[in-house]
Structure 1
């Protein structure tokens, strides 16, 4: 433990910068992927004939190894291989691919009787979507966002293999100097960030579903 504190103190400025970079590299794709998945998940829910091929295609995207994605995107986008935008776009694609099905499943989980009641009260299709379906689907969508957020934190570390500057560099440094100290420190920091992300998503889910707080874990 003393070695960890000594290493952290000696390299605090660099580790702080890497930590901030890791946080935004992992968090921005979650928000962007969710924004893209909401309309696409609604389409998959609304048009059943398109759901299977669309969701299957997203499943294929999610199975592409992250290191391959990080190496291919610069060629497709014309960006530098070390550019953080490559990591953001890759993780956005993974988040989108994961959450499309989650959004569709969340909307599917709303009982037909609930929608019929809303329609009988004079609500339009869009009002039912915004006021009934999406709010009631939040627990299901939130569960998917939790998985995506934690997965993104893990996937960010893989970008260190291609030289992207973030906390994964601690693993590379530890390997290069044959020391466990930076590796263990990096592991602790990644776990801490993942737990923080998970708690934030849980908190937001509870905030958006006050009627359901007692059953969300």
Structure 2
């Protein structure tokens, strides 16, 4: 029986930020996402990926779950990112720019073909209109343990950008999509994480959004650090 691991607080850390990475052992969050995607400029992606093995090797000294966000499989970096994360036996691989179940299945096949341990799970960013339209089919993969798929992460900033909706403090225009995401996750037996709160100086606003996310049914919230 798999041990339950809470995912209430999940912090993004750029893989290029050595100062932030040095603090991993002291962090009180439930999980960290080592980011190879948006946080790393294209010219640095290969060099930063090569650091991943060292970052993951020190996992026994850390209390939190270790996830790696990789570049989309269709990019020049995606496949090698997945293989590097699997070789380091990350707890999970967060797939970016997921649109259809095919991307999740291809990532799973890649892990299986390279004999990655079953403990390496797959997560998926939901950050585009197409992903939302396909959310039911994506969630269905969670019912098959062989898919390795265990968690959705809401990419709220990208959803705002891609759709053009107004980003209000109460998130009224995002709310229908967020609730749809929670509903799909529950149908597929998946965890689901709310998107980041951008204004890290606004502690009251952050607390309010955390309470709101819990009330909506999210398992936790992804975080950024100043």
TM-score between the two structures when normalised by the length of structure 1 = 0.27
| More helix by percentage | 1
Q: Which protein has greater RCO, CA pairs closer than 8 Å, 6+ apart?
A: 1
TM-score between the two structures when normalised by the length of structure 2 = 0.26
